[in-house]
Amino acid sequence: MTVSDATRARVRAASAERCGYCRVPARYIYAQMQIDHILPQAKGGSDDESNLWLSCPRCNGFKRDQTHGIDPITTRRIRLFNPRRQQWERHFRMESDGVITGRTTCGRATIEALHLNYPPSVTLRRYLLRAGWRPIP
């Protein structure tokens, strides 16, 4: 199956042109944003709009067909953050230096699984924050 252009446009608009995981705005990355299957197609996820969200290539590349990650504090296997159904600010906090910290087991497991604090990504977010960008519109 493929995702229609109309569906892609609606997903882009619903996500406010930001990655659902690291929150980077599409206009500040040197690559095309991707349509993420929240439940991966390899795990039976559909092309239905309710299963789609915008992701930067780095987050989507690390996510691959994962549905769960390990919370580094409890070492429990936790379902990854769902950017369509869950509120980012409930599970994550953007520190002033660009590092994303987890507020919940889900947030921490997602940070680890998707490598949200990859150093070049942290540096980009630090510069964006200094320029006035905020992860929550």
**Site residues (CB under 5 A) for Zn ion?**
19, 21-22, 56, 59
Kindly state the smallest distance separating residue 19's Cβ from Zn ion, in Å. 3
Kindly state the smallest distance separating residue 5's Cβ from Zn ion, in Å. 22
Kindly state the smallest distance separating residue 82's Cβ from Zn ion, in Å. 14
Closest to 42 in 3D by CA, of 61, 62, 64: 64
Contact 105, 113 (CB under 8 A): no
Q: What share of the chain is helix, strand, coil (3-state, %, to 5)?
A: 35, 15, 45
Whose tokens are 């921490």? That residue is 108
Compare residues 52 and 59 and give the one whose CB is closer to Zn ion. Answer: 59
Kindly state the smallest distance separating residue 59's Cβ from Zn ion, in Å. 3
Closest to 23 in 3D by CA, of 106, 79, 69, 81: 81
Compare residues 51 and 55 and give the one whose CB is closer to Zn ion. Answer: 55
Compare residues 22 and 113 and give the one whose CB is closer to Zn ion. Answer: 22
Q: How far is CA 72 from CA 105, 107, 108, in A?
A: 8, 10, 7
Compare residues 22 and 78 and give the one whose CB is closer to Zn ion. Answer: 22
